[in-house]
Amino acid sequence: MFKKKIKKDLKNEDYTQSKAEDFHFDLISDYHNKKQNKGFVLTNRTCNDIDFDEFFMFADHTTSIPGQQYLYNHLRKIPESFEHFEEQETTINYYDNNPDKQLKTVKLLNRISSFDAYYINSLFQDEHIKEPKWYFAIPILAITNLLLLIIIPFYLKAILPFIGITTINLIIHYWNKHNLYQYINALPQLSKLNYSAKEILKMEAPHKNTTRVKAATKILDTVRSRMLLFKLENKVDTDFGAIFWSLLEFVKIIFLLEPLLLFSLLKIIDKKREEIHIVFSFIGNIDMDISILNLRKALPYYCLPEILKPDKTINANELYHPLIPDCVSNSISLKGKSALLTGSNMSGKTTFIRTVGLNALAAYTINTCFAKSFSLPKMNILSAIRISDDLMNDKSYYLEEVLIVKELLKEGAVSPCLFLLDELYKGTNTIERIAAGKAVLSTLNSSSNSIVFATTHDTELTDLLIKEYDIYNFCESISNSTIDFDYLLKKGKLQQTNAIKILKINGYPTELIKEATEIAQQLKTK
């Protein structure tokens, strides 16, 4: 059934369907959280600001669990270089031009798509359970019971010590169940992971590090037979009858097979961490490449980005937000300056800076942009968009802003950054907000070839920053009863505001609207 489904998808090129299953982000992110990544890692705050989880669910077309975990980690980090993109594109083109090979590979990846596969990474990333100090007694008890079992037919009184030792073994056996359950999911999946890797290697597709992967799979083959007991334990409730299960459990108790095999296997697994990680990464990388191929086929259009040498330049042609259906595209070109966006509420300015951020992230990680063309230098991505009070730590909104911006200033002083900022210092008064905002935006813009995309309601900032920032705006048209947004980026600062008009459209009292309008006019003339 699965094979027929995949064939149908490939034949019809129906890649637009999102995954139907739940996304267990605590498990998906586990590999990333435990991995020591080189390069810049996207912070949790920036992930929240640009809706990273929603973007991941959109971009995730992986088949296997290792592939899903690998893709998540890949999207969270900006690599030190982009030389691997050439190899990645070779693999993507290979599968695009060989749908039969893609079908076979996806079928093998599907072998490691069950929920239990989320725990494979624990075998090479977590500390394993250590033998208890009294472990030496376990083989003694097992051998003694074996000898007593041999003697019993000839000397019936031996059954008494056999029952006594079996009782002790029973206690040890069920004490060890807690240890066993920590690995009962991962160990059988390791065999499936290794099998899929070996079969994919036989296809001789243009994958990297195949010699190293082949060597790793051979080493992991040496522990396959030791995992047979764990495969049975994992399946016995569904595949075998209660009688067989009872007999098997009794044998394991008598000879303490589970603790003996578990701790013996963990010693071996502990020495094979590198090999497991190599095979895990091999599978993850292949699945990710096929996922990128399928993602691209689902898009209305996309481009491969051009990563420039260090420079203060961005060129984007018909850029769109991938999570917004029928999104209005926009183009922007910056050279030597940053961008300051003014606009009314709901006009699209915050969505636009998120669009820039997501496209930059996709450019750096999966060599794919949601635009007709997109070029930019390598930069770290940092943001201050969704800021809230931290009441648990007794921090006001303004103090939270202060601390976040301080971190941005610190990072911008040492490396080029793409800063995404939404209405700085909303938590304080107008005069000091404008003064502090101007100083911060100037400092960020002048540091290490960084580029800032900032939004503001304070049109005074446009005059203060005109030499350092290109000024853009989003505006709308308002009739007596409706307000219409075109979501198009326009050059220059905003010439009209809509806050009081929106109050009027939504039925506020006439006298209130009149008073608000008069006060606004008075303030503008001061």
Beta strands in 448-509 (DSSP E): 451-456, 469-474, 476-478, 483-485, 490-491
For residue 5, pLDDT over 60 is answered with no
Q: What pLDDT digit, counting tens, does each position of 406-452 carry?
A: 999 999 999 999 999 999 888 788 889 999 999 999 999 998 789 99
For residue 38, pLDDT over 90 is answered with no
- Fill in the amino acid letter for 181: Y
Q: What pLDDT digit, counting tens, does each position of 132-141 carry?
A: 999 999 999 9
Question: Contact, 61 vs 152, CB < 8 A?
Answer: no
505: Cα separation from own chain's centroid? 42
Say what the pLDDT of residue 522 is.
83
Please compute the mean of the pLDDT values over residues 341-345 and round it to a whole number. Answer: 85
Instruction: Work out the pLDDT band at 2, boundaries 50, 70, 90.
Output: very low
Angle between helical axes of 65-76 and 52-59 (0-180°, round to 10): 140
For residue 80, pLDDT over 60 is answered with yes
For residue 345, pLDDT over 80 is answered with no
3-state SS of 246-268 is HHHHHHHHHHCHHHHHHHHHHHH
Question: Contact, 448 vs 310, CB < 8 A?
Answer: no
pTM of the model: 0.89
Say what the pLDDT of residue 19 is.
75
Least-confidence region, from 20-29, 118-127, 219-228, 316-325: 219-228
- Percent of the chain scored above 70 by pLDDT? 91
Architecture of domain 306-495: 3-Layer(aba) Sandwich (3.40)
Say what the pLDDT of residue 427 is.
78
Q: Please list the residue range(s) of the chain that carry CATH number 1.10.1420.
A: 2-129+182-223+272-298
More confident residue, 99 or 13: 99
Please compute the mean of the pLDDT values over residues 210-238 and round it to a whole number. Answer: 76
Q: What pLDDT digit, counting tens, does each position of 64-75 carry?
A: 999 999 999 999
Please compute the mean of the pLDDT values over residues 469-487 and round it to a whole number. Answer: 82
Q: Please list the residue range(s) of the chain that carry CATH number 3.40.50.300.
A: 306-495
Say what the pLDDT of residue 390 is.
59
CATH assignment of 2-129+182-223+272-298? 1.10.1420
Say what the pLDDT of residue 389 is.
57
Please compute the mean of the pLDDT values over residues 472-486 and round it to a whole number. Answer: 79
Helix residue ranges per DSSP H, 77-136: 84-97, 99-109, 122-125
What mean pLDDT value characterizes the chain? 88
Least-confidence region, from 142-156, 204-218, 480-494: 480-494
Q: What are phi and psi of 477, to 5 degrees?
A: -115, 140
Angle between helical axes of 349-366 and 273-298 (0-180°, round to 10): 130
Q: What pLDDT digit, counting tens, does each position of 265-313 carry?
A: 899 999 999 999 999 999 999 999 999 999 999 999 999 999 999 889 9
